[in-house]
């Protein structure tokens, strides 16, 4: 099993987003559930 890290820079509050992992070899493309960005996101 692999571990992935996703980063989004300067997302717009109130917009809907989803993460996508591209298909590779025999594995299909993977999409996260739809989520909305709000102003409570912390910067690390």
Q: What is the mean pLDDT of each run of 10 residues along the chain (44 residues)?
A: 68 82 87 80 57
- CA 23 vs. chain centroid, Å, equals 15
Task: Tell me how far apart the alpha carbons of residues 36 and 13 are, in angstroms, rounded to a whole number.
Answer: 8
The structure's pTM equals: 0.49
Radius of gyration of the chain, Cα coordinates, nearest whole angstrom: 13
Number of domains making up the chain: 1
For position 1, what pLDDT does the model report?
A: 62
Q: How far apart are CA 33 and CA 25, in angstroms?
A: 23
- pLDDT at residue 24, rounded to an integer: 83
Domain residues for the domain of 14 are 1-43
């Amino acid at each position: 099993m692999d571990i992935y890290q996703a980063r989004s820079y300067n997302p717009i509050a109130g917009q809907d987003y989803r993460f996508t992992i591209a298909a590779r070899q025999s594995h299909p493309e993977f999409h996260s559930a739809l989520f909305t960005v709000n102003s409570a996101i912390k910067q690390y």
